[in-house]
Amino acid sequence: MSDPALDFWFDFASTYSYPATLRIRPLAQHAGVSIRFRPFLLGPIFKAQGWETSPFNLYEVKGRNMWRDLQRICADLSIPFQRPEPFPQNSLLGARVALVGLAQSWGEDFCEALYRSQFGERRRIDEPATVAAVLAALKVDAAPVLAAAHSDAIKSQLRRQTEAAQRLGIFGAPSFVTADGELFWGNDRLERALLWAKRGDDEGFCLSL
């Protein structure tokens, strides 16, 4: 078997991607699995299912539960949580900047920090000022990065990545895909996905009931 690896698919507008992004690096390191961060856009995928906004907005009781659940999860993890306003936010700029950073050294730190700014500090990630502030905190010069984020190369990379997500059967975020194509959906499946990446389809956890 090759080195254990897991692709991590996320959209900056996705709520459960916030705890997943903060959890994945330490958990993966502990498990000995290498992670590839793969930002994509849920919007086109939701539209293909007939949804014009987040299903959490379309189905109000489900949305109410999600916010409460996310609040509990963040409390359990001791990470800050404030409900973003508006929701969902346009994640296009964030995803493009993340692609720039992931080809350099600061991409994963940027992803963590942008999630924190939206869900921990209630900043608007669709505003370039927020993205610039996050870059500044990482000591990255914002101007060339924002210019690169608007280049045709990055725009088309993000489009291709979103199409790749769709081909993999991804319908929500966060999602985790192993080298053998096994798809796990949801922050609560992260640990299981890491184990699969590490061991493949063996006898299962063999948990007792």
Which residues are at the interface with a second copy (CB under 8 A)?
22-23, 26, 49, 59, 61-62, 64-65, 68-69, 72, 75-79, 169, 171-172, 183-186, 188-189, 192, 203-209
CB 28, min distance to a second copy, A = 12
CB of 37 or CB of 184, closer to a second copy: 184
Least CB distance to a second copy at residue 35 (A):
14
Tell me how far, at minimum, the Cβ of 159 lies from a second copy, in Å. Answer: 20
Structure token digits, residue 193: 């996905």
Q: Least distance to a second copy from the beta carbon of 45, Å?
A: 9
Report the nearest approach of a second copy to the CB of residue 194 (Å): 14
Task: Fill in the DSSP letter of residue 175.
Answer: E
Output the CA torsion sign for 109, 173, 8, 47. negative
Which residue's CB is nearer to a second copy, number 155 or number 189?
189
Q: Which is nearer to a second copy, 146 or 183 (CB)?
A: 183
> At closest approach, how far in Å is the CB of 81 from a second copy?
11
Nearest CB to a second copy, comparing residues 2 and 49: 49
Question: Judged by CB, which is closer to a second copy: 27, or 138?
Answer: 27
> What is residue 187's DSSP assignment?
G
State the DSSP string of the chain. ----EEEEEE-TT-STHHHHHHHHHHHHHHHT-EEEEEE--HHHHHHHTT-SS-HHHHSHHHHHHHHHHHHHHHHHHT------SSSSPP-HHHHHHHHHHHTSS-HHHHHHHHHHHHHTS---TTSHHHHHHHHHHTT--HHHHHHHHTSHHHHHHHHHHHHHHHHTT--SSSEEEETT--EEESGGGHHHHHHHHHH-S-S------
CB-nearer residue toward a second copy: 133 or 183:
183
